[in-house]
Structure 1
Amino acid sequence: MMSQSLRASRSILTRASRQQVPVAARRTFLTSAVRRADQVQDLYLRELKAYKPTPVKPSDAEGNVHKFALPQAPASPEEANLASELSAYEAQQVEVEGQAAAGEAAPVEESWFEEDEEEAAAAH
């Protein structure tokens, strides 16, 4: 019984291996994915070629671009006042430290570093 089943399975295998699968059936399995990719690629390329961008108008930038304006020139100093300020400076009297100005009493010099005699004697 066992030998008959082995012979039967061998015969089935040999028949299956001898039997040729039609070429068209094999090719559809191998090329179906490629054909679908080509269809998608063709669809993509067709849509890409059919795309027409909207034309750019000069008025499109009006809301996004500022108009250029030259900056204002800086104000120059008043030259008329320079002459009067220079003459006022030349007319000023020179102040020297330690000398009294005209009409004032001479300043009294105070020494901040001198100690009182009483405090110095008490410390010794």
Structure 2
Amino acid sequence: MLAQSLRASRQSLARVAWQQGVAVSRRTFITPTAVRQADLVQDLYLRELKNYKPTPVKASDAEGHVQTFSIPKAPPSPEESDIASDLKSYETQQVEIEGQAESGAAPVEEDWFEAEEEEEEAAAAH
């Protein structure tokens, strides 16, 4: 019997809580009560923007600020130079060979292996 009364009280409590929840969750339309205050700076700015008239651009306005374009002079072509005389001077050049003296004297032989002999003598002394 006690269990039946507890079950019944639970059901009645749930029913009451659900009815109260439904009453609270109803939607209501709230109208804003704050009146929009005028922003003086914004109003002045917008009025000045509407009243602004830009000055018309003339073709003569750029004369003092822009340089006139002139086509640069073309570089001279290598074909225009005196190729025949350049070829003749190239053919008559003296051939230089590395290691030969210009006067035609016999080249001095250098001994590149002197340091190795000294190293061998130092190693034998030990």
Structure with bigger helix share is 1
Q: TM-score range by the shorter chain?
A: 0.3 to 0.5
TM-score (norm 1): 0.45
TM-score (norm 2): 0.44
